[in-house]
Amino acid sequence: MQERIWHKSYAEGVPPNVDYEKMTLPEVLERTAKTFPETVALIMMGKKITYRQLDELVNRFAAALADLGVKKGDKVALMLPNMPQVVIASYAAFRLGAVVVMNNPLYTESELEHQLIDSDSKIAVCMDLLVPRVLKLKKTTGIETVIACHIRDYLPFPLKQLFPFVKKKMHRKTDPGEGVYDFLDLIKRYPATSPGTEVSFDDLAALLYTGGTTGLSKGVMLTHSNCSICAQQLKAWLPDVEEGIESMLGTFPIFHIAGFTTGMNTAILRGITLILIPRPEPGTVLEMTRKYKPNWFPCVPTIFVGVLNHPDFAKTDFSFVKGCVSGAAPLAVDTVRQWKETVGAGIVECYGLTETAVLSHANPWGGKVKVGSVGVPVPDTDCRIVDVEMGTKEMPQGEAGEILLKGPQVTAGYYKNPEETENAIRDGWLYTGDIGYMDEDGYLFIVDRKKELIIAGGYNIYPRDIDEVLYEHPKIQEACAVGIPDSYRGETVKAFIALKPGETLTEEEVIAHCKEKLAVYKIPKIVEFMDELPKSVIGKVLRRKLKEMEMEKAGKQ
């Protein structure tokens, strides 16, 4: 790639171009298991699995899948939270050349049905409590076999004794005649020898689903090349990780691209201990931090905010934390400043999409961090800003437009969806649907989602501008601005707010606060207080959900 203005901002030792190792994901695990056999790979509630043990478990489960008929190219659907089975099953499928289809275990039956049909999944590995739901879906999807996983499978004694009811409850359901098997029963039956399947660097590795213009989720195709290269880009960006020694909090769900790459694949590439957190909440995050002293602290913005305002925050030592990383949603500038002042470690903001295997931009680690910016393109990644209307005109420096990306981590498209692929990828550039601008150094500032733009009285209003101001108020814990229908202005701004515990605030006080910081046309006209704002499974505040709730209310009036 040609030299770009942002290359001057790279930290010392970080190259603009990387000589990538053409290693598939199963080859990465095999090498790490040989290099760091006794390093702990996974920790869950006290249970520890070393890299040697993980590699053996992957081989055993790969043999089980093969015996159940899984072949190269077959789709294996996973519906699991952050627990050892999701890592074991993923890498077992990779080792067979099969394709992992990640599903949110909290999805409704109809959401799961769409993804199982669309992905051509043949086998499902899921939480025991989901087995009845998946058995129902066998009638309408291509699922032939179900493998049940129990939370107690990988718990240390005596915690196992707290979960006996799960095994008993599921015992009658793990019936091979019904096509249902027990994860641990399968693991025990097979040897820990590699299946020996030839897997190519350019073979499809995973399908991860993301929203579509039609409202239906679409399967992002990620090859071993996309996934391996993205993890290697992160390695180039963070060169001072002590491989085989350091640890990382696993707060991002592995079924989401943030946990899939930043958590699972990066940890395995670098021999990092991944501390699995099935359900990331501020209290749990603080407890795991005190117990395991992680060196790396990746979280979504709502977790950082929740941790800062949690009663256990003051008694938690963070001196061992080497780096904090934020992604998946915009991080308020005030949160960054407060975290730095109280914890000591800064937060490095990153940016990417499922379509970029998670990463395209990051603030330089050990280099110049610009608060409010998601940083500069990582090695071998190019970025342009074009007009929102047609997507053809290059925008001048400092002016907002749609963000376009190009790089070896970018997907080739959406599974069985040429129309969406053609719309998103044009002339080799990924049209992200995000709006932002670049400054004189090539640092990217995200303004908002193209679809979330509020147009009020002819003015374009970016909700994030309002969110930032709301988060500056000392009594506000969560905030989100949306556009709602207005007969005069077309749309007007409404702010949804959750206060910090014990605080009180009025609508008039919120509006007065905004008047000091925002242009008149951006000031919220309506304020609604909620105990908690709706969030995605990774903790991202759902602006779309708030808007839907508002539209439903309007429809009933």
Task: Look up the pTM and report it.
Answer: 0.84
For the cut 90, the answer to whether the pLDDT of residue 271 exceeds it is yes
Whether residue 503 contacts residue 451, with contact meaning beta carbons closer than 8 Å, is answered with no
Return the pLDDT at 162: 44
- The strand pairing partners of 403, in sequence order, are 385
Residue 552: what pLDDT?
79
CB 369 within 8 A of CB 325: no
Helices (DSSP H) in 8-98: which residue ranges?
A: 25-35, 51-67, 84-95
For the segment 356-401, what is each residue's pLDDT rounded down to a tens digit? 999 999 999 988 989 889 999 999 999 999 998 888 899 999 999 9
CATH number of 453-556: 3.30.300.30
Homologous superfamily of 25-218: ANL, N-terminal domain (3.40.50.12780)
Q: Which residues pair with 47 in a beta bridge?
A: 44
* Residue 226, H or E segment: helix 224-237
- Name the residue among 403, 70, 409 with its Cα closest to residue 233: 409
Q: How much is the pLDDT for 158?
A: 53
Report d(CA 174, CA 171) in Å as an integer: 6
Helices and strands in the chain, H and E counts: 17, 26
Residues of the chain with CATH 3.40.50.12780: 25-218
Question: What single string gives the DSSP state of each residue in 364-399?
Answer: PTTS---TT--BEEPTT-EEEEE-TTTS-SBPPTT-
Predicted pLDDT at 444:
97
| C-alpha separations of 46 from 127, 167, 210, 422, 440 in Å | 20, 20, 33, 47, 48
Question: pLDDT class for 555, splitting at 50, 70, 90?
Answer: low
For the record, the structure tokens of 207 come out as 């399908």
270 and 237 Cβ atoms separated by less than 8 Å? no
What separation, in Å, do the N-terminal and C-terminal C-alpha atoms of the chain show? 56
Mean pLDDT of the chain: 90
Residues carrying CATH 3.30.300.30, the chain: 453-556
The residue among 135, 124, 148 whose CA lies nearest residue 75 is: 124
When pLDDT is cut at 50, 70 and 90, the band that residue 167 belongs to is very low
